[in-house]
């Protein structure tokens, strides 16, 4: 049975997370501080951890570092009210598998948790994506096409990762908009996604790789099919 560790000191949010992630094949363990979380981790049953950064007895990033040092196979999703590039990059560099900035959609959280659990079960490593002529290193934020470096914005990097993580599958427009912008904006012009897709295609010369599924969304075309 999967065990999800939730470390969040906001009691109301903690309860909401437990309700949103409740499943018959899943055990949810709720903690409100780092010391409680360490006790649960020591039992060796945790499948995935959701960590707030600002906790009453320390910084969630320190706990993240400890988890990745001792149990690197456990996916960790960070929750944070901090949305600066520095905070996000710091979390990713210390091993976070994903991050969500508050406020956020519980439906999006469920989707991200399920994605991380699938990766953990299948052993898929999405930190790097290599498919001639492309080489994408998401951990170090290095991207190249035909061995030539390509500079991508934070939004373009996020978009590209979603597409390559789901290579061969169609990702709906609404899902992409929700993942890329909705956590920070009350309203996002849908044209913003089309513009970002076009920029990404142009930078990577990926007109044939990033396919538009009209009326639905976009897909990264898998090699040899």
pLDDT averaged per 10 residues, the chain (length 225): 91 91 88 94 90 91 90 87 68 82 83 84 70 91 94 92 85 81 55 93 96 92 71
Contact present, 40 and 46 (Cβ < 8 Å): yes
Q: Is 128-220 assigned to CATH 1.10.10.10?
A: yes
The Cα 22–Cα 83 span in angstroms is 27
* Strand-strand pairing, 128-131 and 98-101: unpaired
Find the angle CA(211)-CA(92)-CA(178) to the nearest 5 degrees: 45
Query: Can you give the pLDDT at residue 83?
Result: 62
CATH code of the domain made up of 2-122: 3.40.50.2300
Diameter of the chain measured on Cα atoms: 51
Q: Where would I find the H helices in 21-168? A: 34-42, 60-70, 85-93, 106-122, 154-165
> Is this structure's pTM higher than 0.85?
no
Total residues found in the chain within this entry? 225
Task: End-to-end CA distance of the chain: give it in Å, rounded.
Answer: 35
- Residues of the chain within CATH 1.10.10.10 domain(s) are 128-220
Write out the two tokens for 102: 């508050």
pLDDT of amino acid 203: 97
Residue spans in the chain of domains classed CATH 3.40.50.2300: 2-122
pLDDT for 182: 52
């Amino acid at each position: 049975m999967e065990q999800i560790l939730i470390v969040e000191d906001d009691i109301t949010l903690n309860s909401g997370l437990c309700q949103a992630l409740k499943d018959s094949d899943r055990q949810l363990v709720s903690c409100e501080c780092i010391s409680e979380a360490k006790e649960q981790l020591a039992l060796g049953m945790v499948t995935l951890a959701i960590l707030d950064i600002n906790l009453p007895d320390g910084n969630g990033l320190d706990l993240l570092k400890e988890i990745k040092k001792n149990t690197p196979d456990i996916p960790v999703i960070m929750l944070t009210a901090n949305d600066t590039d520095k905070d996000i990059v710091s979390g990713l560099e210390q091993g976070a598998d994903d991050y969500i900035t508050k406020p956020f959609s519980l439906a999006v959280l469920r989707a991200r948790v399920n994605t991380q659990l699938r990766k953990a079960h299948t052993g898929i490593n999405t930190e790097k994506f290599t498919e001639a002529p492309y080489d994408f290193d998401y951990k170090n934020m290095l991207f190249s096409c035909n061995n030539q470096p390509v500079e991508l914005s934070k939004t373009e990097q996020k978009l590209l990762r979603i597409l390559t993580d789901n290579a061969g599958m169609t990702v709906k427009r609404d899902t992409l908009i929700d993942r890329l912008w909705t956590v920070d904006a009350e309203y996002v012009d849908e044209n913003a996604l089309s513009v970002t897709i076009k920029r990404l295609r142009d930078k990577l010369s990926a007109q044939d790789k990033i396919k538009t599924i009209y009326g639905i969304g976009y897909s990264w075309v898998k090699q040899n099919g």
